[in-house]
Structure 1
């Protein structure tokens, strides 16, 4: 699953490789790359904040429609579609940042599973051949390349599987951070490595609470949405313990950046300000719908001037369109023949044939 969802690794991996060439430290590359990703995604975060503010304004109206037509699903869907068209409401508008964050997370998982391939640029075939030569199972994607790095740094000979240049790249691969190897997996055993997944887990739940409150999303993240969000956080927290700790380093940095980003956007782009703007916009649209317009309609063959609001105007337009269609297609049959009508037509047809024959 991670390979399928981590398809962005074909883009993010080479970008991180370029950064590693400039900063020959895998851990620092991961931290700086994470910060840059957060900076680039700031416009999306602002867009999401706007979307959530708009949703908080429109939610009472949507709930009213759902309650009013709860026993008529077809009419309910019709009214919801009409609401979206009239007010420009898009329920999926705030999902893009969430989906993008998830795809980036899975892409980073792929990179930390395969640092030799993505950071050092060594082909997958050569890596698999080297692992096979050393008796390392390539089916264990979590540990295969980590074990390969450890073996080569220990001086194990794999000259038949890798070139001297490739072996040199792996031997010189700087994976140290605070005296620990970020290519290793923490697991659940007591060790100094546990600090990384623990920090990642604490910061993800802290960021979830802080970001939700500051962005005004409490109303939007209720019920199944709230449960899904917490399940996703638990899933990625599990990855932190089972994946190489390079992922925990990324996740911790990302969560801290998200908290800081939320504080910043809350000050500059206050969700309360957005909410007031959308409330004013909604009030203006409602007023426009109620405003009277002067139109000329035809009643009993005479033109009559009327004062109507938008809803009444739409009704008149619909009635006029139906009348024109009825006039246009009045001679066309719109229902199947009854048995009596069919027999009558047959008799008429026979009668016409007899008359022609008599002539």
Structure 2
């Protein structure tokens, strides 16, 4: 739990940047939709105008990727630490860890696919050097999945990890404006007058469909990982999701109104500049 909080604190600057980017994306979403409607038959011009809009409002469409990518090596490192506690937690040499493993888990030799890892966990537990129990019955070194015929209390952890992943993704989608965009599109009557128009519109639909599918895919993927490996991974991931949700709610509230005013100020300035240009044209005429 302390490790999860420390990781979140270390990643806080990146997470805050990610959240700022998402909130800004939500604020400029109406302008993006206007550009998509205006240049639906000219994708190159649409892309140029979108990049111009991003630059004007200091928005980075890829701003949310880095914190997610950093989580993967953290999970891999955590898996190694939990799987080989004598090596990584107690800093034992290869000979010392092997000697202790053979002392307490020699009967497992040849029976386990990954004898070294399983033996280290058993040796660390039986020798009393490390206690993996969160509380009674919640041994975080164990793998929750023992088959459908053997349900156990540890199943709570993968389910918890999967549900919190879905909730976090759902909040993220609402923040980025994807769900709202989908609803608006559904409300419009759809008429196909030109097949080319349909092709141009498919790009946005595909992006929305991909985001939606990821929202439903990731909880199952997270649950599968949490079921298949040490319960510590699922516990870390679920707790990390809870902290992310609290962080998202706080930052959304903090930056929402602020960026709304910033976007309005930029648009007002652009409108003022357009009016000035019109006046100059009229004077020249």
Output the TM-score relative to the length of structure 2.
0.68
The corresponding residue for 1:224 is 210
Q: Distance in 2 between matches of 1:276 and 1:105?
A: 36
Which of residues 128, 140, 160 in structure 2 aligns to 1:182?
Answer: 140
- Is residue 56 of structure 1 aligned with residue 26 of structure 2? yes
Per-residue displacement from partner, 1:174-224 (whole Å, max 9, x unpaired)?
222212322111104212222322333333333444565578664489421
Per-residue displacement from partner, 1:229-269 (whole Å, max 9, x unpaired)?
332232111111111111122123222222333343344x1
The corresponding residue for 1:357 is none
- Is residue 88 of structure 1 aligned with residue 58 of structure 2? yes
CA contact (8 A) 2:26 2:175 kept: no
1:207–1:83 CA distance, 2 compared to 1 (3 A): closer
Q: Distance in 2 between matches of 1:106 and 1:217?
A: 31
Q: Distance in 1 between matches of 2:39 and 2:89?
A: 56
The corresponding residue for 1:149 is 121
1:287–1:60 CA distance, 2 compared to 1 (3 A): same
Q: Offset of 1:136 from its aligned partner? A: 5.1
Q: Distance in 2 between matches of 1:126 and 1:229?
A: 45
Q: Offset of 1:37 from its aligned partner? A: 2.0
Q: Distance in 1 between matches of 2:58 and 2:250?
A: 28
Q: Distance in 2 between matches of 1:239 and 1:175?
A: 19
Q: Distance in 2 between matches of 1:145 and 1:80?
A: 51
1:225–1:152 CA distance, 2 compared to 1 (3 A): closer
Per-residue displacement from partner, 1:142-194 (whole Å, max 9, x unpaired)?
x741333315655xxxxxxxxxxxxxxx7512222212322111104212222
Q: Which has the higher contact order (CA 8 A, sep 6+)?
A: 2
The equivalences for 1:319-358 within 5 A come to: none
Unaligned segments of structure 2, at least 5 residues: 182-206
The corresponding residue for 1:111 is 81
Output the TM-score relative to the length of structure 1.
0.56
Q: Distance in 2 between matches of 1:116 and 1:149?
A: 8
The corresponding residue for 1:286 is 270
Q: Offset of 1:65 from its aligned partner? A: 3.2
The corresponding residue for 1:248 is 234
Q: Distance in 1 between matches of 2:56 and 2:213?
A: 31
The corresponding residue for 2:90 is 120
Q: Distance in 1 between matches of 2:121 and 2:67?
A: 35
1:106–1:59 CA distance, 2 compared to 1 (3 A): farther
1:110–1:60 CA distance, 2 compared to 1 (3 A): farther
The corresponding residue for 1:172 is 129
| Superposed CA RMSD | 3.8
Unaligned segments of structure 1, at least 5 residues: 1-30, 155-169, 294-305, 310-359
**Higher share in strand:** 1
CA contact (8 A) 1:131 1:138 kept: no
- Is residue 238 of structure 1 aligned with residue 195 of structure 2? no
Q: Offset of 1:118 from its aligned partner? A: 2.7
The corresponding residue for 1:46 is 16
1:68–1:47 CA distance, 2 compared to 1 (3 A): same
